[in-house]
Amino acid sequence: MPSRVWVVRAGSRGEHEQYNIENDRTTIGWAEVGDIGPYRSKDAIQQMLAPLYPGAPDRRLANYASQLWAFRDRIQVGDLVIMPSKDRRGYIWFGRAVGPYTFDASSPEPERRKFIPVDWAKDPMPRSSFGEDLLRSLGAIQTVFAPTRNNAVRRLETIAAGQPDLHTGGGAPKETLSLTAVPTAPAEQDEEVTDPDPVPTLEVIEDRVQAHVMAEFKEHDLTWLVSEILESHEFVCQVSPPGPDGGVDILAGKGPLGMDAPIVVVEVKSEAGPVDVKVVRGLHSARERHNADQALLVAWGGVNKSAKREISTDSKFRVWDGATLMAELFYAYEDLPPETKRRIPLTQAWVLDEDAIS
What does the domain layout of the chain look like in residue ranges? 5-197, 213-357
Cα 48 versus chain centre, distance: 35
What is the percentage of the chain residues whose pLDDT exceeds 70?
89
Residue 38 has pLDDT above 90, yes or no: yes
Q: Residue 54: how many CB atoms within 10 A of its CB? A: 6
Rounded alpha-carbon distances, angstroms, from residue 339 to 147, 209, 239, 335, 343 = 38, 17, 18, 12, 6
List pLDDT tens digits, range 22-35. Answer: 999 999 999 999 99
Class of domain 213-357 (CATH, top level): alpha beta
List pLDDT tens digits, range 216-256. Answer: 998 899 999 999 999 999 999 999 998 776 679 999 999 99
Asked whether 304 and 275 are in contact (CB, 8 A), the reply is yes
Distance CA 69, CA 50 (A): 15
Reported pTM: 0.75
Distance CA 175, CA 220 (A): 27
List pLDDT tens digits, range 78-126. Answer: 999 999 998 887 889 999 999 999 999 999 999 999 999 999 998 888 8
| Residues in CB range of 342: below 8 A, 6 or more apart | none
Mean pLDDT in residue range 71-78: 96
